């Protein structure tokens, strides 16, 4: 008798990002689906990685990450958010943001625990909660402005609530948390044992002069938070798969117990390079403007199509409504646009457990202007 796996994810298909990227490649479509830039990253950072390799920095670094990189991060966190984070005990370098989120959830969750998740939610959150035997408690964001209904959050909190998951700037909507949201959150978690998982991989990609509301700014929130970041999204090298998690020492020490037997330690030359590169503040401070210009360039061109933009205040993404253009589901339209018009997008319904379909598609505008122009030329035909 051959062995049969009792699936931990019986209902899971393949992640939409891979599905749409494969379809885009098959049909030679412009890929505005999966979130990755098509322009070159900074050569200076590439040169620093080369130099690190040539100098022989090719063996394991400490399992928690190269200490000079963690020190550079602690300095940056202090500069940006006025938080004092101990690089020895409170920062761990991870192979990407998704891994940091997976590890933090696995660190905290016990079977039966409840986790508050706002929908639309990034596609890894709910499966990761379920893999750990915990239960996602789903709260829809308002449509079309994607705000949190805090009254509903209060109602959904129970004695089993172990964690609240936040994501700002938000994927897929580009919504951002405001000071009002933070005040509500502080009031709700005060005097509770609720943890926070904050996905802040787009921390620098925030527009219109808005300030990123990091958990790192608020000591009473940070004391219960795992905050996850991505160098790939920040420095336009998503394929490097490198990120980090920040959490108070007691939480981080448990996180590391899981991390050490999974990835153990991350790519070392990249860490040597980043430790140096992070010293240059302008490299990350200018990113918001750079992406804002792309958002505006694309939005301006999209006015020539029938799509209607929903606001995006951050991230790589903007949602566009096709209400009034087609009655198709988001998935059907996304597939047809890829096959027949040569432009791949992401249907937003995949970010809802019950596939709520508001007739909006997610477009990634982190692309060269020529790519965005060609995509809009094609979309104008719809």
Residue 46's H or E segment, with its range, is helix 43-54
120 binds ligand GLN (CB under 6 A): no
Provide the 3-class DSSP secondary structure of residue 94.
strand
Alpha helices (H) in 61-96, listed in sequence order: 67-81
Q: Please, what is the minimum distance in Å from the beta carbon of residue 35 to ligand GLN? A: 3
Q: Please, what is the minimum distance in Å from the beta carbon of residue 324 to ligand GLN? A: 26
Rounded CA separation 382/380 (Å): 5
31 binds ligand GLN (CB under 6 A): no
Strand partners, 139: 118
Q: Please, what is the minimum distance in Å from the beta carbon of residue 119 to ligand GLN? A: 15
Of 33 and 87, nearer to ligand GLN (C-beta) is 33
17 binds ligand GLN (CB under 6 A): yes
Q: Please, what is the minimum distance in Å from the beta carbon of residue 339 to ligand GLN? A: 20
Burial of 255 (0-12, 13-18, 19+ CB in 10 A): buried
171 binds ligand GLN (CB under 6 A): yes
94 binds ligand GLN (CB under 6 A): no
Interface with ligand GLN in residues 181-200 (CB under 6 A)? none
Which backbone phi and psi does 34 adopt, to 5 degrees? -55, 140
Q: Which of 243, 228, 265, 249 is nearest to 105 (CA)?
A: 228
Of 20 and 66, nearer to ligand GLN (C-beta) is 20
Alpha helices (H) in 193-329, listed in sequence order: 219-222, 231-235, 249-259, 268-277, 281-285, 287-302
Q: Please, what is the minimum distance in Å from the beta carbon of residue 34 to ligand GLN? A: 4
Of 171 and 234, nearer to ligand GLN (C-beta) is 171
Return the ∠ at Cα 16 (arms to 15 and 18), rounded to 5°: 75
Q: Which position among 19, 31, 32, 35 is part of the footprint of ligand GLN (CB under 6 A)?
A: 35
Q: Which position among 19, 30, 34, 320 is part of the footprint of ligand GLN (CB under 6 A)?
A: 34
Rounded CA separation 274/272 (Å): 6
Residue 86: other Cβ atoms inside 10 A? 12
Q: Please, what is the minimum distance in Å from the beta carbon of residue 103 to ligand GLN? A: 15
Q: Please, what is the minimum distance in Å from the beta carbon of residue 116 to ligand GLN? A: 21
Site string for ligand GLN, 249-278 (x = CB under 6 A): ------------------------------
# residues contacting ligand GLN (CB under 6 A):
6
Of 94 and 184, nearer to ligand GLN (C-beta) is 94
Residue 227's H or E segment, with its range, is strand 225-230
Contact set with ligand GLN (CB under 6 A) = 15, 17, 34-35, 98, 171
């Amino acid at each position: 008798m051959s062995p049969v796996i009792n699936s931990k994810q019986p209902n899971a298909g393949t992640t939409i990002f891979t599905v749409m990227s494969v379809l885009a490649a098959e049909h030679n479509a412009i890929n505005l689906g999966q979130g990755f830039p098509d322009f070159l990253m900074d050569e200076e950072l590439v040169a620093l990685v080369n130099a690190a390799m040539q100098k022989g920095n090719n063996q394991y670094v400490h399992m928690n990450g190269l200490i000079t990189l963690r020190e550079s991060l602690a300095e940056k966190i202090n500069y940006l958010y006025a938080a004092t984070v101990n690089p020895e005990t409170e920062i761990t370098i991870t192979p990407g943001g998704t891994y940091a989120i997976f590890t933090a959830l696995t660190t905290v969750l016990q079977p039966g625990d409840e986790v508050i998740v706002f929908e639309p939610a990034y596609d890894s959150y709910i499966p990761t909660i379920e893999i750990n035997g915990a239960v996602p408690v789903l709260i829809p964001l308002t449509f079309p402005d994607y705000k949190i209904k805090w009254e509903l959050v209060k109602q959904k909190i129970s004695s089993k609530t172990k964690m609240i998951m936040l994501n700002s700037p938000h994927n897929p909507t580009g919504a951002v948390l405001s000071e009002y949201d933070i005040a509500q959150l502080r009031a709700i978690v005060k005097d509770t044992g609720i943890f926070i998982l904050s996905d802040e991989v787009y921390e620098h990609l925030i527009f219109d002069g808005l300030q990123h509301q990091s958990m790192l700014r608020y000591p009473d929130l940070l004391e219960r938070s795992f905050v996850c970041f991505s160098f790939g999204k920040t420095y336009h090298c998503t394929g490097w798969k490198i990120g980090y998690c920040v959490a108070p020492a007691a939480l981080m020490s448990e996180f590391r117990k899981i991390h050490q037997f999974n990835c153990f330690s991350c790519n070392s030359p990249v860490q040597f390079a980043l430790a140096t590169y992070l010293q240059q503040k302008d490299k990350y401070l200018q990113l918001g403007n750079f992406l804002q210009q792309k958002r505006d360039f694309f939005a301006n061109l999209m006015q020539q199509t029938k799509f209607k933009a929903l606001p995006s205040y951050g991230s790589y993404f903007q949602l566009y409504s096709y209400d009034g253009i087609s009655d198709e589901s988001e998935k059907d339209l996304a597939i047809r646009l890829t096959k027949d018009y040569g432009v791949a997008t992401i249907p937003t319904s995949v970010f809802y457990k019950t596939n709520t379909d508001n007739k909006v598609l997610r477009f990634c505008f982190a692309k060269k202007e020529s790519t965005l122009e060609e995509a809009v030329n094609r979309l104008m035909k719809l």
